[in-house]
Amino acid sequence: MDVINTLGRRKSSVARVYLSKGKGKITINKRDYKDYFTTGVMQYKVNQPFELTDTLGKYDVKVNVSGGGNTGQVEAVRLGISRALVELNEDYKPLLKAEGLMTRDPRMVERKKPGQPKARKKFQFSKR
């Protein structure tokens, strides 16, 4: 097995994931994932696909992620890792799909409309 290359997206974040055999080292933008995602919830989200498939510590992951904020980036990374694991072993798909890790979240920021300050907000209305 050489390197498996997959893509994960969420909002405006794009994560390119490179999965290879190793000792469980996860690197995001040339930094350790614990330095890049500081909160415990985000670190859990990165490890979630490995915990569900009992492959924690078996694969090295290199990720290039860009765009969006922290939450979008961590969920893009999670989708990329899930797709890579399924490419590696097709038996993991039902496990990951049951937890909702195989679906790309289609929700995007709604566009701003002309004549309004934001997408849905309206300017203050004055009757008189």
Helix pair angle (70-88, 40-53), 10° resolution: 10
CA 52, 32, 28 angle in degrees (round to 5)?
75
Q: What's residue 32's pLDDT?
A: 95
Would you write out the chain's pLDDT as a tens digit for each of its 128 residues? Answer: 789 999 999 999 999 999 999 999 999 999 999 999 999 999 999 999 999 999 999 999 999 999 999 999 999 999 999 999 999 999 999 999 999 999 999 999 999 999 999 999 999 999 99
CA distance 124 to 71: 32
| Among the listed residues 110, 56, 50, the one whose alpha carbon sits nearest the alpha carbon of residue 85 | 50
